[in-house]
Amino acid sequence: MDRLAQTFARCKAEGRPAFVSYVCAGDPDVETSKAVLLSLAQNGADVLEVGVPFSDPLADGLTNQLASQRALEGGMTYDGLLDVLRAVRAGTDKPIVLYCYYNLLFSFGLDSYCAKVREAGADGLLVLDCPPEEADELIAASKKHGLANIFIVAPTTPPARISLIAKHASGFIYYVSREGVTGERSELAANLSSAVAEIRKHTSLPICVGFGVSTAAHVQAIAKVADGVVVGSALVNVVAAHKDKKDEAAAAIGAKVRELLAK
């Protein structure tokens, strides 16, 4: 059983959802990024979703766009990403999922990219702009190198297409609970329970809910219906707040996770 499957099985046995954290690799610099990711793992994150900095992050709201910009301006590169992955993998056995855009993989070569990130410690890929209808080469390269392919289901996805997505997905299904881009929200979508129930008709994979999850109350509400909860912008904002006091970033991000997990 791979790390993702083991993690979701363990969380289910413990009667709780997996906590999936998102931050951008290299934000605000490589060494701080390593410390932040390890702090997430040490303070309650079950799965580490790691953003790969990109100049045109079309699925991201302003918070995550600025995180990518800080990382790129700080000199983040593909080799820097591999450095971050290796350091995090050496410090934790928590699963690592890369949140990325297809052009990055395509430009390096799918097989080479998948091989190198797997060797560095990644467990899965969430490629935002590669739908399953166009993902044959990506899925083949991922399977060859032991990487899960996580696909997104949106509130507007019809049942027939949920079935298609589920057929090609592995690792887990990421349910985007709101239309639009990433970002903190004051309230969760009202139809979460029915939306997750519809997805369950088409797959036995774990279902994680993200986009707009910002508070402990949000986490607790999602815990009642899903197998995992994804928090991104609320954590990235902590990193942003410490971009000029980097030595405090890891402790601050750990405290934020504990706050989000408080009951």
Separation CA 51–CA 68 (nearest Å): 8
Helix intervals (H) in the chain? 3-13, 30-42, 62-73, 78-91, 102-108, 110-120, 136-144, 159-168, 192-200, 216-223, 233-241, 249-261
Structure token pair of residue 22: 């998102």
Intra-chain end-to-end CA distance of the chain, in Å: 31
User: Which residues have a catalytic role annotated?
Assistant: 49, 60
Separation CA 181–CA 68 (nearest Å): 15
DSSP letter for 16, please: S
Structure token pair of residue 197: 């129930």
- Residue 160, classed as helix, strand or coil, is helix
